[in-house]
Amino acid sequence: MKLNPSVEHHTIVAIVLTIWSFLFSILARPFEHGYMDLKIWLKVSTGFGLAIFISYFTISFLQKITYNKTKKWTLLYEVCTYIILYTLYTIITYAFYKSSFIKGIYHFPEFFFKIIINVFLILTPIIVIARKYTLKLISKEETKEIIIKGSNKLDFLKIKQAELVCVSNAQNYVEIFYMENEELKTKLIRSTLKKIQTDFDFLIQIHRSHLINPTYFKSWKDTNTIFLAQLELPVSKSYKNNLLNL
């Protein structure tokens, strides 16, 4: 399976889900029971909308951490994401429902089967579609321009993300390898490998001195070396899994 690990993109999904949840709840009032006037429904709709935002925003960080560690996304990870999402959502909404703001009459079993199950059935298809849409944003992300900055204000390189091949440590500098008109070029910038990795989390570490853009990974030369575009780079044992999990 594929995943767009961008927290920024999934925050947009969280906002869309929040707005949709609020409007659907206030207009359709699908879970009305007892006496619930407009004032109460405004509270319910606001609370349930914020609950889906907090829940989805939280899993966007959790899935990014998981993806950065494993460098892959499986069906099991996807299913676990939904389980965590709905667990958080259930806890938050039930706490809000039983609070002094709403004073809900359902105990948890009734709340879960009469309200939460219905929410799952309504929201799940929307979330699935929204998550698939985020995959389309990956290609747009790769064409965006990035700026690699050094300690000097005049020391920087502006290229497209897809043009960055790798970054190697060079004492007090880092050597940037990038493609320009199908030609491999380099530039030295006064910075650290750690800072580059923090700034550009799509890069994968394969050695204490090398970060690579996995797009350019071609093949293994042997158990300790890879072909990367027009380069050969060493791979250390401690980072080999980063490539094996691609």
What CATH number has the domain bearing residue 153? 2.40.50.1020
**Model pLDDT, residue 245:** 75
- Shared domain for 223 and 149, answered yes or no, is yes
CB atoms within 10 A of CB 182: 6
Residue 1 lies in a domain: no
- Shared domain for 76 and 195, answered yes or no, is no
Residue 11: what are its φ and ψ, rounded to 5°? Answer: -65, -35
- Shared domain for 170 and 137, answered yes or no, is no
**Model pLDDT, residue 59:** 96
**Model pLDDT, residue 38:** 76
Residue 211: what are its φ and ψ, rounded to 5°? Answer: -115, 140
- Shared domain for 18 and 116, answered yes or no, is yes
Residue 30 lies in a domain: yes
Cα 96 to the center of its chain, rounded Å: 27
Separation CA 187–CA 174 (nearest Å): 8
**Model pLDDT, residue 42:** 85
Separation CA 58–CA 161 (nearest Å): 27
Answer with the one of 143, 161, 194 that is the final residue of a domain.
143
**Model pLDDT, residue 210:** 94
User: Residue 229: which domain range?
Assistant: 145-244
- Shared domain for 133 and 151, answered yes or no, is no
Separation CA 64–CA 33 (nearest Å): 39
- What single string gives the DSSP state of each residue in 105-174? ---HHHHIIIIIHHHHHHHHHHHHHHHHHHHHHHHHHHHSEEEEE-SSTT-EEEEEGGGEEEEEEETTEE
- Shared domain for 96 and 178, answered yes or no, is no
Instruction: Note down pLDDT in tens along the chain; length 246 residues.
Output: 888 888 989 999 999 999 998 988 887 776 666 566 777 778 888 999 999 999 999 999 999 889 877 878 899 999 999 999 999 999 999 999 898 888 888 899 999 998 899 889 989 999 999 999 998 877 666 667 899 998 887 888 999 888 999 999 998 899 999 998 888 999 999 999 999 999 998 899 999 999 999 888 888 888 889 998 888 999 998 888 888 776
Kindly report each contact of residues 191-198 with a partner whose C-beta sits within 8 Å and lies 24 or more positions away, as own/partner.
191/148, 191/149, 191/150, 191/151, 193/167, 193/168, 193/169, 196/148, 196/167
- Shared domain for 19 and 132, answered yes or no, is yes
